Structure 1
Amino acid sequence: MVQKYQSPVRIYKYPFELVMAAYERRFPTCPQIPVFLGSEVLHESRSADGAVHVVERSCRLRVEAPRLLRKIAGVEHVVFVQRNVLNWRERTLLIEAHNETFASRVVVKENCSYSVHPENEDWTCFEQSASLDVRSFFGFENALEKIAMKQYTANIKRGKEVIEHYLSELLSQGISHMPRWTPSPACKEGARSLTEPGAHGAPDAMGHSSNPGPVPEAILGPDDKLDAEYIERCLGHLTPLQESCLVQLRLWLQETHKGKIPKDEHILRFLRARDFHLDKARAMLCQSLSWRRQHQVDLLLQTWRPPALLEEFYAGGWHYQDTDGRPLYILRLGHMDTKGLMKAVGEEALLQHVLSVNEEGQKRCEGNTKQFGRPISSWTCLVDLEGLNMRHLWRPGVKALLRMIEVVEDNYPETLGRLLIVRAPRVFPVLWTLVSPFINENTRQKFLIYSGSNYQGPGGLVDYLDRDVIPDFLGGDCVCNVPDGGLVPKSLYLTEEEQEHADQLRQWRETYQAASVFRGAPHEVAVEILEAESVITWDFDILRGDVVFSLYHTKQAPGPGPLEPTDRDRVPGASCSLVESPLVCREGESIQGSHVTRWPGVYLLQWRMRGPDSVACSLQGSEDVLPALHSPGPRCKLLYYYEVLASEDFRGSMSSLESCTSGFSQLSATTSSTSSGQSHSSSLVSR
């Protein structure tokens, strides 16, 4: 398995030329990096004008490994070949290297780059990346991999300290400025090869050569590749490997994710939840981002308004912060009629409210980070269980609680810093037995449970909350504005019909996906078909605006971005072809259809915003629509569902929609501005 390291952007607040002067002082020896045993220049050259200086050298490094491993390998040092390219005109230094020793068994590559900060020409950026691939090593592959990565990351900080040491040395000698390069007649003698030791090529963070690896990408600003100082100040202390995981995952999202990139604090929570296992964290985060997009969670704080009944009877609310600066949420669960709330507002409304609390918690963490000047990424919850009884163990209520726990665990990992449970009654162990298996082990370790009144003395709340924020109902002096809860009157319960509709709404939300369509930015879904004669079925409702729906076939998955208009007229069998005539779909309509595939490959379901003069629905008609689709304008909204069936399984299945009315159109009627939703059924078969 290839191990990779990617550093954040480290910034020296000194000009590039001064940093290069410090860099040169690392030669011919560097006492700060004792594993570097020496080097030999293999080749050195300069450009005709002297602007570019290239040095290639062989570097010897002492092997820091257990004696047994060194004895088996039969070496006490390893050799790396490095190549430095210093460009004075562009003010960059690119360093790349690879190992020569055991090159057939172990492949080590590293790159480093120094460049001018994109926003401040008097600062210098440093970036570093490396990869380690242990292909075979006498049966010690795993051991060598761990030793090498541990040694590498341990020396990363040392490499930065070396530059800072020589910068301080220059400043102490009164050298605080170095002139920038300008062409000199003496430098225009043409390229020449030199054999004397050069000034560029030093051992660096790995402790070995002056930084090995492939040629790096162009340096981006700290907003694109995280700045190490920003990480320390806003995210907290991370080990080099943890920094690397954060940078790699963020870069991966920038390259592959369509839509808004989550904040670094958000990405970091998923890495922590998976112990910085990059692949596991990536999978968890991608699933959560899909969930957020489907349920439009990013807009929840702007769109969710709790019913008045919830505001009156939901006994929870925010209350200052704990001693660590974490936002404090108080939940008087024992005073809350969970059964009554379920029957009065429904499970979906309760879940939405819980999600809004978690969204607000993240927002408050950001605010407290700025207020207290240190990273605060989680919040504290104080749960008062006085009054908890068997009514709270109502089976549908417990089932809903478990669902909420699952949703929060999957999508808000590492947001809970501490859970303080006070006045736990005798019935609490029964509830704990039911819910604890569904709570992540890392989260359970943050629970502190107090029974009776033992929360009042030493080791109790005073260890985590200042006395002036402990609520009055727990013996403190602070008036708490959290609602008292109480029994919900049965007269406020939903009728059976309303409850059934709420259940349908929840099922639809779990089945259908939400999408937004902007002018010039259609929504596309790629469906891979492995065998011909499959059936693609779809069902979607237009909640806002008018769209044009089309179906395309392509032999391979398309690249990022929507299909271009020039791709629309290609004939079947070409790289991309239109296989269903575009269908104009108006606001409030519910559309169902199916398509029998003729070829394997990738089929694209596409929704484009309808232009003001567009008309249905032929290949020629779609050409007239195209110019209007790329003008700026508002967005359309839709909910959709699709499925792929084998042709023999299609007839008689739930997806074989032959009626002119979709039951799902009821949702359209309640969520769109139109009072009635017309329906169309288009059982379309390829020609």
Structure 2
Amino acid sequence: MVQEYQSPVRVYKHPFELIMAAYVRRFPKCPLIPVFVDSEMISENQSEDGSVLVTERRCTIDVDAPRLLKRIAGVDYLYFIQKNTLNRRERTLRIEVHNETFSNRVLVQECCNYTVSLTCPVDNHINPRSHLIQLLQGKEIIEYYLRELEEEGVTYIPRWTPPVVSGTGSTRLQLAPISAARAIPVNSAKDGLHSKDPACPTELVAGSPDDKLDADYIRRYLGDLTPLQESCLIRLRQWLQETHKGKIPKDQHVLRFLRARDFNLDKARELLCQSLTWRKQHQVDFLLDTWERPQVLHDYYTGGWHHHDRDGRPLYVLRLGQMDTKGLVRALGEEALLRQVLSINEEGLRRCEENTRVFGRPISCWTCLVDLEGLNMRHLWRPGIKALLRIIEVVEANYPETLGRLLILRAPRVFPVLWTLVSPLIDENTRKKFLVYAGNDYQGPGGLVDYINKEIIPDFLGGDCMCDIPEGGMVPKCLYRTAEELESEENRLLTDSIYKSASIFKGAPYEMLIEITEASSVITWDFDVCKGDVIFNIYHSKRAPQPARKDTLGAHGIASLGAVNAQLIDRSWVLGQDYSMVEKALPCREGESVQGSHITRWPGFYILQWRFHSSPACTASSLPRVDDVLASLQVPSHKCKIMYYTEVLASHDFRGSMTSLESCQSSFSQLSAATTSSNQSHASSISR
């Protein structure tokens, strides 16, 4: 089996002849490489004109293994044969290495080419290193001996010229100015011979600038990389150039996917390919130029860019506690919010490139500061949480390793509940970047000033810097999409619609049955009253209700109104005996949005009921209000309509965090307050 490795390209900013003079100084042994014990000359041959020099050496390498393992293997050292072919005329050096030890079991071959670069790019270069060759011609070692030559006064070595042949009148050739030299490790194969010929240096020079990378580029734009990481980046980029038909992403972008998969080349390639396909399908590359934010986002989305942190990373500030997440979802839909988040990430990538140029060092990620002051139960609105989870999935898959640090400030007691919901979808490496401060702990030692300069701390966090971010507030309900719009948009949303519609007839309430098998489970609900006024109740029964048959509906005194709701609570049941009320009846007017939760105290059957609510009749001595008259004309007197969503959460998902529910600002129902005083974990809330 053949395993092949491609090392990156190393650029030296020195003349070829000077590089060669530094290179030969590492033999017979180099004190800078402890494992390189020694080397002995086997042969040395030179062409008649002196232009080509071929040298063979046997190199002794100390085995980096425990003493016991060395004894088992029967060796203390490994021996490699190195063959160097120096062509002074063409100014090239070819280094070929193969193992002598264990060669009957495994064959290791490596090859490296030094050649002259006709162009020396500034923006795209990568450090090449291979396995044994790394020991014999690493750039750090070359630079060490270059400094040694300089200290000896050797700063220039003339290029080789053909010898003058007497009697022919030949003269020395006029040569071009000295160019820089670069090392080009071409192939290195393990467990077999090379599977393909070494790459041609001429092709590399003639290629695009992206084919020629050096250490300066890495330090300037990519940061510290190990030899393996450098090799993974080069191989993945070359694979993209050979197979990908679209726009090739920048090295910084490719590197993020490698880091996200711990430089597992196959996993990173799969993730990157999926992301590139997604970007093309959704035209993400053009998002910043084509997408116009709706006015609702300008007015009520409480986030924006704000200077940079102490490391030069762009700083994004999000006042989540002041944001009406439910209102934004209801007014815009999930797709618009997803585009907003994508535009933030695209802008973040652009700002990272700008800061890299400004600060002169690689900046590949940004810092996010999240202020949770004001966070309460309305932010735990389940449809909004589901939208948030989907957005997190999209961001994690397509923008890995873009978040450098997340500072969460003024986290209230309800925060553990939110964290329980969203943390499973966040990558482990990303979770390690989260720093959470409760209350005003962020103002002391180890707080915000450790990461952000004091002069740019926003004013709402006690700083002196004005932060140009909308203050948020509740999105007016007049901007909400109607029930018809929600229904018609179901197929266009990124997720399936989770709302259902229901009609409530006069004399025929709409009821929903929920079976609870484990006490302390959480029933959550969210509904909007689209037409008419309703009363909302929650009941509990130990036995399963039996819906009335269609032929018995007349017994309820319902007029023929078309489709009517099947009754779950039988007329013969006695309240307090056959079933009980677990939440106080809540009257809800048209246009109101209601959300809440109930912590079940007993297993059994819970019934959520919405029933028709008639407005109080006007007395003879009082005139009807204009609003009531108009409402009576617009809403049929026998029918109401709601859009609702319910969900049951298992008790183990919230065990240990339920007491934090009482710290929220949402109002608790009177009944819940009376029945749960002895047990804080049995909290119920209804908020509008």
User: Given the two structures, how large is their TM-score scaled by the length of structure 2?
Assistant: 0.63
What is the correspondence of 1:587-598 to structure 2 with a 5 Å cutoff?
none
Counterpart of 1:103 in structure 2: which amino acid?
S
| Whole-Å separation in 1 of the counterparts to 2:129 and 2:143 | 20
Contact 1:348 1:502 (8 Å CA) reproduced: no
Describe the superposition over 1:232-288 as per-residue Cα deviations: whole angstroms up to 9, x where unpaired.
121111222222222222222222222221111111111111112222212211111
Query: Which residue number in structure 2 is paired with residue 627 of structure 1?
Result: none
Paired residue type of 2:327: G
Could you tell me which residue of structure 2 aligns to residue 172 of structure 1?
151
Aligned pairs for 1:575-594 (under 5 A) are none
Amino acid at match of 1:325: G
Change in Cα spacing, 1:93 to 1:303, as seen in structure 2 (3 Å) is: same
Alignment of 1:129-144 (within 5 A): 130=130
Aligned-pair distance for 1:416? 0.7
Displacement of 1:422:
1.3
Distance 1:441 1:293 in 2: 28
Q: Which amino acid aligns with 1:92?
A: T
For residue 17 of structure 2, what is the aligned residue in structure 1? 17
**1:40–1:59 Cα contact (<8 Å) kept:** no
Contact map agreement 1:312 1:485 (CA 8 A) in 2: yes
Q: Which runs of 5 or more residues in structure 1 are unaligned?
A: 131-148, 189-203, 205-211, 510-687
How big is the alpha-carbon RMSD for the aligned residues of Structure 1 and Structure 2?
Answer: 2.9
- 1:291 and 1:451 map into 2 onto residues whose CA distance is 38
Task: Give the corresponding residue for 2:514.
Answer: none
AA matched with 1:475: G
Match of 1:622 in 2: none
Summarize the Cα distance change of 1:23–1:157 in structure 2 as closer, same or farther, 3 Å threshold: closer
CA contact (8 A) 1:52 1:85 kept: yes
Mapped pair 1:477 → 2:469: no
Structure 1 residues 477 and 111, CA, compared in 2 at 3 Å: closer, same or farther?
same
**Structure 2 residue matching 1:41: 3-state secondary structure:** strand
Change (3 A) 1:156 1:380: farther
1:184 aligns with 2:185: no
Do residues 216 (structure 1) and 198 (structure 2) align?
yes
1:94–1:215 CA contact under 8 A, matched in 2: no
Q: Deviations over 1:465-506 (max 9, x none)?
A: 112111111111111110011111111112334334443234
Deviation per CA, 1:114-159: give whole Å up to 9, x if none.
Answer: 11123159xxx997564xxxxxxxxxxxxxxxxxx7xx69x65983
Closer/same/farther in 2, CA of residues 439 and 185 from structure 1, 3 Å limit: same
Contact 1:393–1:431 (Cα < 8 Å) also in 2: yes
Answer whether contact 1:44 1:54 (CA < 8 A) is retained: yes
- d(CA) in 1 for partners of 2:150, 2:58: 31
Taking the aligned partners of 2:232 and 2:156, their CA distance within structure 1 comes to 36
Q: Is the 8 A contact 1:81 1:100 kept in 2?
A: yes
Tell me the residue number matched to 2:350: 363
- Per the alignment, residue 216 of structure 2 pairs with 229
Post-superposition Cα deviations, 1:524-543, rounded to whole Å, max 9, x if no partner, equal xxxxxxxxxxxxxxxxxxxx
Report what 1:343 is aligned to. 330
Alpha-carbon deviations, 1:631-666, whole Å to 9, x = none? xxxxxxxxxxxxxxxxxxxxxxxxxxxxxxxxxxxx
Correspondence for 1:246: 233
Q: 1:104 to 1:303 in 2, by over 3 A?
A: farther
State the partner residue of 2:420.
433
Which of 129, 138, 158 is the matching residue for 1:159? 138
Query: Does the 8 Å CA contact 1:378/1:416 hold for their aligned counterparts?
Result: yes
Distance 1:120 1:452 in 2: 55
Q: Quick check: 1:110–1:129 contact (8 Å CA) kept in 2?
A: no
Distance in 2 of aligned mates of 1:508 and 1:461: 37
Change (3 A) 1:164 1:455: closer
> 2-side partners of 1:285 and 1:436: how far apart?
23
Quote the Cα distance in structure 2 between the aligned partners of 1:361 and 1:157: 42
Give SS of 1:11's match: strand
More displaced stretch, 59-68 vs 295-304: 59-68
Q: 1:346 to 1:506 in 2, by over 3 A?
A: same
**Pair 1:261 & 2:248 matched:** yes
Using the TM superposition, give the Cα deviation of residue 45 of structure 1 relative to its aligned residue in structure 2, in angstroms. Answer: 4.7
In the alignment, is the contact (CA less than 8 A) between 1:6 and 1:129 conserved in 2?
A: no
The whole-number CA distance in structure 2 between the counterparts of 1:428 and 1:33 is: 54
Shift of 1:173: 2.8
Q: CA deviation at 1:43?
A: 6.3
Q: 1:215 to 1:77 in 2, by over 3 A?
A: farther
Please give the per-residue CA displacement for 1:369-413, whole angstroms capped at 9, x wherever unaligned: 111112111111111112212111111111110000011111111
SS at match of 1:325: coil
Residue pair 2:83, 2:96 contacting (<8 A) in 1 also: yes
Query: Residues 508 and 342 from structure 1, CA distance in 2 versus in 1: closer, same or farther, beyond 3 angstroms?
Result: closer
**Amino-acid identity (%):** 65
Q: The residue matched to 2:14 in structure 1 has which SS?
A: coil
- 1:128–1:486 CA distance, 2 compared to 1 (3 A): closer
Aligned to 2:266: 279
Per the alignment, residue 681 of structure 1 pairs with: none
Question: What is residue 452 of structure 2 aligned with on the other side?
Answer: 465
Larger Rg: 2
Partner of 1:374: 361
Per-residue CA distance 1:404-457 (angstroms, 9 max, x = gap): 001111111111111111121222111111111111111111111112222222
2:101 is the alignment partner of 1:101: yes
Question: Residue 113 of structure 1 contacts residue 127 of structure 1 at CA under 8 Å; is this kept in 2?
Answer: no
**Residue identity in the other structure for 1:379:** W
| 2:127–2:215 CA contact under 8 A, matched in 1 | no
| In 2: Cα distance, 1:504 partner to 1:11 partner | 54
The answer for the alignment partner of 2:583 in structure 1 is none
CA deviation vs aligned residue, 1:651-684 (integer Å, no higher than 9, x gap): xxxxxxxxxxxxxxxxxxxxxxxxxxxxxxxxxx
Q: Give 1:358 deviation, angstroms.
A: 0.5
Q: Separation in 2 of the partners of 1:404 and 1:120? A: 43
State the distance in 1 between where 2:10 and 2:452 align. 37
Provide the rounded CA distance (Å) in 2 between the counterparts of 1:347 and 1:166.
Answer: 61
Distance in structure 2 (CA, Å) of the matches to 1:166 and 1:52: 23
- Counterparts of 2:322 and 2:60, CA distance in 1: 71
Q: Report what 1:654 is aligned to.
A: none
**Which residue of the partner structure matches residue 111 of structure 2?**
111
Q: Secondary structure at the match of 1:318?
A: strand
Rounded to whole Å, the distance in 1 between the matches of 2:477 and 2:136 is 65
2: distance between equivalents of 1:501 and 1:156?
67
Shift of 1:89: 2.5
Distance 1:447 1:30, change over 3 A: closer
Uncovered stretches (5+) of structure 2, i.e. residues with no partner: 168-184, 186-192, 497-688
Which whole-Å CA distance do the structure 1 matches of 2:395 and 2:160 have between them? 57
Give the stretch that moved more between structures: 222-231 or 479-488: 222-231
* 1:110 CA displacement: 1.7
Q: In the alignment, what sits opposite 1:69? A: 69
Whether contact under 8 Å (2:6, 2:231) holds in the other structure is yes
Report 1:435-454 matches (<5 A): 435-454=422-441
TM-score by length of 1: 0.63
Q: Is the 8 A contact 1:351 1:404 kept in 2?
A: yes
1:319 partner letter: H
Q: Distance in 1 between matches of 2:321 and 2:136?
A: 51
Partner residue in 1 for 2:589: none
Alpha-carbon offset, residue 349 of structure 1: 0.6
Q: Does 1:488 align with 2:475?
A: yes
Q: 1:187 to 1:170 in 2, by over 3 A?
A: farther
Question: What residue in structure 2 maps to residue 400 of structure 1?
Answer: 387
Residue type of the alignment partner of 2:71? K
Per the alignment, residue 37 of structure 1 pairs with: 38
The code of the aligned residue for 2:385 comes to V
Residue 435 of structure 1 aligns to which amino acid in structure 2? V
Per-residue deviation, residues 13-72 of structure 1 (Å, max 9, x unmatched) = 2111111122233344444445242224246352x6543333344433333322122111
Q: What is the identity, as a one-letter code, of the residue corresponding to 1:163?
A: I
In the alignment of these two chains, the number of paired residues is: 462
Q: 1:330 to 1:62 in 2, by over 3 A?
A: closer
**1:267-326 residue CA offsets vs partner (Å, 9 max, x unmatched):** 111111111222221221111111111111111111111111111111111111111111
